[in-house]
């Protein structure tokens, strides 16, 4: 089946790097995503990676994909208090031709000043 | 506005009543998704529309849940005989369609449903 797992909480100091980890079970996943949810706000797509890529960098964000271990990570460099939010890992299952997303439980990132 | 909109933003209803939740996708987006976010279950897929058809309803939790889409635009999610476990935030998302890359689903702000 399709399952996505994340740790629930991460606390860092402002200016440090944050690394949020995710594991998934579907080896045929096509796209993997990171979404951000701020309190009272909707889901915002931060970045995504296609399954044939190992790494993607976008400004302060770096996504690493280890397809062998089915492990995805999001690194946020120079973390700011405005980065405090819930971060969701999600995948598009390879078995699906609908583009639906399977989400992890979300990791709450707390950034201390 | 240019984004996905949902109404109402909050809905409180009594157990056993029916509710309708509305989603207005981004203009021109042919694909529409409903998800549910609850404390116990996290973020779950409910149903997918391509145009007015729903080829994937696999996430609907029971036959009390139904959805329709008209004119390839607005979608309504209906929950009949609401139960307390239906309390959640219902999110709608749209995307241009699978002929394009599916990587960018745009989410609405959600409807928070509370069943008392």
What average pLDDT score do residues A64-92 get? Answer: 95
Contact call for residues B44 and B29 (beta carbons, < 8 A)? no
What average pLDDT score do residues B85-104 get? Answer: 82
**B42–A44 CB contact, under 8 Å:** no
Q: For residue B46, is it left (φ>0), alpha (ψ between -120 and 50) or beta? A: alpha
Q: Three-state secondary structure along A63-113?
A: EEEECCCCEEEEEECCCCHHHCEEEEEEECCCCCCCCCCEECCCEEEEEEC
| Tokens describing residue A38 | 């701020």
CA B58 to chain A, closest CA, distance in angstroms equals 11
Query: Measured between alpha carbons, how far apart are the two ends of chain A, in Å?
Result: 41
A·B CB contacts under 8 A? 57
Does position B99 have pLDDT exceeding 70, yes or no? no
Q: Report CA-CA distances (Å) from B28 to B24, B25, B71, B72.
A: 11, 8, 11, 9
Q: Which of B102, B108, B110, B112 to mutate to test the interface with A (most CBs of A within 10 A)?
A: B102
Q: Which of A29, A91, A100, A102 to mutate to test the interface with B (most CBs of B within 10 A)?
A: A100
Nearest CA in chain A to B40: A105
Structure confidence at residue A28 (pLDDT): 83
Structure confidence at residue A96 (pLDDT): 75
**B42–A106 CB contact, under 8 Å:** yes
For chain A, say whether B109 makes contact (Cβ under 8 Å): yes
d(CA B47, CA B59): 6
Structure confidence at residue B72 (pLDDT): 87
Structure confidence at residue B54 (pLDDT): 94
d(CA B66, CA B107): 20
pLDDT digits (tens, 9 = 90+) for A86-103: 999 999 887 777 888 999
CA B92 to chain A, closest CA, distance in angstroms equals 10
Does position A1 have pLDDT exceeding 80, yes or no? no
What average pLDDT score do residues B62-67 get? Answer: 97
pLDDT digits (tens, 9 = 90+) for B7-63: 999 999 999 999 999 999 999 899 999 999 998 778 999 999 999 999 999 999 999
CA A57 to chain B, closest CA, distance in angstroms equals 16
Among the listed residues A91, A85, A86, A87, the one whose alpha carbon sits nearest the alpha carbon of residue A71 = A91
């Amino acid at each position: 089946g399709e399952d996505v797992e994340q740790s629930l909480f991460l606390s860092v100091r402002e200016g440090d790097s944050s690394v949020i980890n995710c594991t998934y079970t579907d080896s045929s996943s096509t796209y993997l995503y990171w979404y951000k949810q701020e309190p009272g706000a909707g889901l915002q797509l931060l970045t995504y990676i296609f399954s044939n890529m190992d790494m993607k960098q976008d400004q302060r964000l770096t996504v690493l994909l280890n397809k062998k271990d089915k492990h995805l990570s999001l690194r946020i460099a120079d973390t700011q208090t405005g980065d405090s939010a819930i971060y969701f890992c999600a995948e598009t299952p390879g078995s699906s031709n609908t583009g639906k997303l399977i989400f992890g439980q979300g990791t709450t990132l707390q950034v201390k000043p | 506005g240019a984004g996905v909109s949902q109404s109402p933003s909050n809905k409180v209803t009594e157990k056993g009543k029916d509710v309708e939740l509305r989603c207005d996708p981004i203009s021109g987006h042919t694909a529409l998704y409903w998800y549910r976010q609850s404390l116990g279950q996290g973020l779950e897929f409910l149903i997918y529309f391509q145009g007015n058809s729903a080829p994937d309803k696999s996430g609907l939790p029971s036959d009390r849940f139904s959805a329709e889409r008209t004119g390839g635009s607005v979608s309504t999610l209906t929950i009949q005989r609401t139960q307390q476990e239906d309390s959640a935030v219902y999110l709608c998302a749209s995307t241009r369609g699978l002929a394009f890359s599916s990587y960018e689903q745009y989410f609405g702000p959600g409807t928070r449903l509370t069943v008392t």
